[in-house]
Structure 1
Amino acid sequence: MSGDLLDRERVRAAQLSPKGTIVFGASDVLGRIGSLQVRLARNTREIEAAQAVRYRVFVEEMRATLPPMAMRLRRDIDRWDAICDHLLVLDTAIEGDAEDQIVGTYRLLRQDVATLHGGFYSACEFEVETLTGRHPGKRFMELGRSCVLPTYRAKRTVELLWQGNWAYALRHNVDAMFGCGSFPGTAPEMHALALSFLHHVARADPDWQVAARPDQLRDMDMMPVEAISPRRALLALPPLIKGYLRLGAMVGTGAVVDQAFNTTDVLILLPVERIANRYVNYYGADAGRFAS
């Protein structure tokens, strides 16, 4: 899809939405803290800039290997980018255009959009269709490609990303969020303590359980529960996964090794009804905590 056509389709979709519309323009800012603001990408140029931020984090920092075209363009690109909404944190104190100000991003994919365009990204690794099929009356949203530039990895940036996710979920009446949480490296045994902790302590309830695809499943149960120190296990968790758990998230069964991104992935599941009250109160039941 060409850039101009993509822009027109996004604007048209927003205009036709009967409720939960995020209008493109100044009013689409979902939150502010100081010079930082969070909103959705407004055009193809901003999406390309977000892809460049992802490249800096995933390739230059984490040593991911992308397809040749993406490596040549120095942008993390895949087919889902054209159908997702792209949440951005911008530092307006940086001189230049909006695309020069992007310091963090998340990729958001609603179930109704995914259904029309070949499914969720996470379904490449996990049996997501069993989850959505088990809850036909619920609206799901996939969170993915979360990254923040190193100098902005602080509380304010993370708070704004969650402010944006929460505001977007409320506007679209989302019932549950999910996505891959990643450990660095492709050797699950290097994370035996943390993965075993997730398996024994944070595994999803049967009604929300999702397994890794059989041909990719790597066992997370590498240590008996009595050998696990919860304190040490929490310290061993990546910050993003630890943050999900604090919100009330659960974890699916089995990990998947992603050779291209040099990670070991688990599936994170977060029904909105399970989000801890202290976080709902902090961000506001109407996502008004940092609203502009």
Structure 2
Amino acid sequence: QVRAIGESLSDGVPLIIITRGCFGREMDYGPGPVRNDMQKTIWQTARDMRAEMPQILITCIDIPINLPSDVLQDITQSPLNEYRELMYQDGTWYTPTVINAAPLGRWMQENTREKPALKSKLKARTEVTFNRKRFDWQDGQRFYANMWLLGWRAVIEARPAQEVTRRSDLTFYPGATKPEAAPIKMPPSVAEATFKKALTKARDAADPAAMLAATKAYLEKASLKEKETLQEATKVCDEAGDLFKAKSETESACEAVALKVKALVSMANCDEALKVATEAFESASDASTKAKA
């Protein structure tokens, strides 16, 4: 037992720290430049622990406070499982990266914030002001080559960002035409994004069982507003049913029909669901298949 414990410690002890919305990135929690000192404490402590104890594999994840926990299942898959610090924002995963800040250092040196000196009016009139120009005979950024900045780099886009439509109704005069208010197209939900990702893998592998598993997991969390994705789920059930029939797997084909009926009911299309169920019952060959239908 002691040897097994030693081997497990040598392989590494995984530890995942999940924070929501404030730790690990710059953010103001009040009006003005009010900084929270605890923002970087957790991530910096984790970095110190990695340096002192490399056998502890610490992963820091930061997600918005209103994001469901379903999106966290992607961190166990490639390429997100290769990073130790991740941040999710607006549909994209980011990781910290070090950027050379030589242009920023030069700009700060040339644009210093100076307080105006108190001068009397008489002295201001008699004093001669000069406007000097500066010429760089050498590369000015080489003096700031050792300045570095911690920024963010995009790793993978989990789902497309929400599109912000440009307003064209800001015409404030009596004779202006009032355009019709168009609904805002919401971004795909986490369930939709997960379903499409799993469906792509299943179609590439031509695995009908994986296609049904992805559809079943999606229908448990599907919303009535997701009509396009629900319609795609019914087509997936038809594809999986045809593949099962080609392999003479009657029970699995019947399960595909049942999932299609469930998808139609989720779309509030009860008449079509009843029609599909009736056709499945009439085409059943044995008693067990009829009972399932």
Check whether TM > 0.5.
Answer: no
TM-score band by shorter chain is under 0.3
Could you say which structure has the larger radius of gyration?
2
Larger RCO (CA within 8 A; separation ≥ 6): 1
TM-score between the two structures when normalised by the length of structure 2:
0.24
